[in-house]
Amino acid sequence: MQIQFWGATGTVTGSKTLVQSGKTNVLVDCGLFQGYKQLRLRNWQTLPLPPARLDAVLLTHAHLDHSGYLPLLVRDGFRGKIYCTRSTYELCKILLPDSGHLQEEDAAYANRHGFSRHQPALPLYTEKDARHALRFFEPVEFSQEMEPAPGLRASFHVAGHILGAATIRLSDGSRTITFSGDLGRPHDAIMKPPEMLASTDYLVLESTYGNRHHEAESPLKRLGEVIRSTAARGGVVVIPSFAVGRAQELMYYVRQLKLERIIPDVLPVYLDSPMARDATRIFQQHPNEHRLNKQECDATCNVATIVNSPEESQHIDMQHMPMVIISASGMATGGRVLHHLKAFAGDARNTILFAGYQAGGTRGAAMIGGATSVKIHGQQVTVRAEVAHLDNLSAHADVDEIIGWLHGFKKAPRHTFINHGEPDAADALRLRIESELKWNCSVADYLQQVDL
């Protein structure tokens, strides 16, 4: 068995790991690179192995940094099956077409306004490509062992990060390799904790928060402070949010704030993301994967006014009064939130509140870092609004929570490969594992190939 890291090395995006066993080739995750331009350019490069030679894809979860390259993979010749949990499949049915649609929109916008260096600007893939890729999905149940390709057995285990998120175990009969996927938090307000696993020969471990601790206090307090202080000065709170998981958690906390009268019940709250709207519906349809009962779930999902059309979204930008806007995307890399940033970032009364991890090279990271302007749709947008960061709302386990999950293994893996983290986070986690657990581990390099 061999593995080769095609992505998520030195970065938290572009997750792709090739697993080869005999003549069998399986790809674990198939994500888009995001953030810095030099990373995004990799999305346009030829893969190390032609897609037609891949037998199957195993998907840990639906976020685009793990699934967003699939339409391109299928368009370029992949004809195997894409295995994932049922919730992941349901989420990909909205995430992938939306991704293709947004790329078409961005390319069309660039062509209309002439700010692309490419003539004409082209999308990486289209909505049609994405819908075609969905035909190759094969949903599986958690903990069900199956054979994704000749000579390999696989099973999916609860990772707790978002609906459907899984840790994947692969075996060729003589050795086992486990991919952590993105690990959730053991005491998350909504999602169930990651499943503990007893053993594996090799482990590929994410390190998004490998050098950081989440704040101990509840995010409820900080979120309430930001909304209340912004509303008091007549401002708008714009929250760039991942449509899947984060948007639903934000609505849960907003409902709590209104119930406890920390913020006024009459304060308008908008969920402006068709994808988040659809993800919220899926959230209600899969009660076994989260902690909320039906009443709590329905109340959470109804706390915000759903914005459906672009016209409704534009109308919000003309309402300069206190309100909360939750809109995708979470790192302000695309989607409707860019229009809200253009409308509200220039006013000091407003607040741009980022909730969770911001990858290097994204607008979110730049704004948190103090940027006084950001480029949106080819124009520089001045940032006068307060920029706040709600770090303890992350759906990722922090370093202590990752180590706690590793303590669940009854014996050390032969080797642990650390990926899906910025360089400082990945190396900090390596040092922590080596010093505390005494495991053999290393940080994965881009295109590194390893014999197991």
Domains of the chain: residue spans and CATH: 2-212+395-451 (3.60.15.10), 219-393 (3.40.50.10890)
In this structure, which amino acid lies at residue 111? N
Nearest Cα to 275, choosing from 102, 149, 446? 102
pLDDT value, residue 262? 95
Is the model more confident about 410 or about 391? 410
The average pLDDT across 179-190 equals 94
List, in sequence order, every residue forming a beta bridge with 450; answer none if it has no partner: 3
Question: Binning pLDDT at 50, 70 and 90, where does residue 65 land?
Answer: very high
Buried b (16+ CB within 10 A) or exposed e, 301-328: bebbeebeeeeebeebbeeeebbbbbbb
Question: Binning pLDDT at 50, 70 and 90, where does residue 1 land?
Answer: very high
pTM of the model: 0.87
pLDDT value, residue 155? 98
Question: Binning pLDDT at 50, 70 and 90, where does residue 116 land?
Answer: low
The average pLDDT across 111-130 equals 85
Q: How confident is the model over 318-350, as pLDDT tens digits?
A: 988 999 999 988 888 888 899 999 999 999 999
- Give Cβ neighbours of residue 118 (< 8 Å, ≥ 6 apart): none
pLDDT value, residue 357? 79
**Pick from 107-111, 161-165, 208-212, 316-320: least confident:** 107-111
HSE toward the beta carbon, residue 399, CA cutoff 13 A: 18
The average pLDDT across 426-441 equals 98
Do 93 and 361 touch, CB atoms closer than 8 A? no
Q: At what angle do helices 274-285 and 294-301 cross, to 10 degrees?
A: 170
The average pLDDT across 260-268 equals 94
The H or E element spanning position 40 is helix 37-40
Rounded Cα distance between 288 and 86, Å, is 12
Rounded Cα distance between 202 and 105, Å, is 42
